[in-house]
Amino acid sequence: MRLFIRFKLILILSVVINLTAFAQYNASATLSLGMGHGYNALSQSVMSNAFKNSGNNTISKSSNADYIYLGASNYSRFEEKIAKSLMAGNKNNDQNKIRSFLSSTRTMYHFNTKSRTYGLKDTYLSDILATGIAWNWEMYHQTKADNKKVINLRNTIRNNMAKGPVKDQLAKLSEDQRREWILSFMYNHSMLAQTIKQSGKLSATRKQQLAEMAKNAGVPNIATVSL
């Protein structure tokens, strides 16, 4: 399958966000970062049958393609890219409030601590993907995921990444492209999590957004899977 990578910012549920009140972030929708059809195709390949694994499969060793370095400077650059995109879309947006909100998501901190809580690491794509899906699942179902099931999810993702078609897709990505792909995935989750936290409850709209985000990440129905 040919992979068309189109790095861009898209809006979840195709809703335009009003960011004029970014201080409280009472917008009617949450930003979803992605890479067009290439992003969806790659994510769906990586997540193929991820929840059908019995846990008895042979675990592939982590490969160079799985390793990813995400230093603080990469997070800062990515947040700046988001801010610039939002400002370009609406000059009336308050750039300081946008930056403040992005900092408040504490994306690097959350993925570092959550991955370790699950027994994973934030230096591998497969671990980060499993961490994000588990975090989404926990927010959607309002309960704690089972660490063994999350590790099993990571193992399936890693095995999928080692298979020919997916391995070939990943090989076509440069280091910067792989970094943008995974940072998009991470910020999707941390931004929506921060929005839910600020609102103080999980509304039907936010729950729908969690399901849509999981679908874009390769999980067709987060409501029916078990972690």
Task: Return the domain boundaries, the chain.
Answer: 8-52+63-216
Report residue 213's pLDDT band, with 50, 70 and 90 as the boundaries.
confident
Report residue 8's pLDDT band, with 50, 70 and 90 as the boundaries.
very low
> Residue 60 and residue 163: Cα distance in Å, rounded?
10
| This prediction's pTM | 0.82
Nearest to 21 by CA among 84, 104, 101, 105: 101
pLDDT of 86 > 80? The answer is no
The chain-wide mean pLDDT, for the chain, equals 77
Q: What is the pLDDT of residues 22-50, one digit of tens each?
A: 333 333 334 454 444 455 567 777 776 77
Nearest to 103 by CA among 12, 22, 200: 22
pLDDT value of residue 26:
34
Exposed e or buried b per residue across 116-146, where buried means at least 16 C-beta atoms within 10 angstroms of its C-beta: eebebbbebbbbbbbbbbbbbbbbbbeeebe
pLDDT value of residue 15:
29
pLDDT value of residue 38:
52
Q: What is the pLDDT of residues 162-199, one digit of tens each?
A: 887 888 888 888 888 888 888 888 888 888 888 888 88
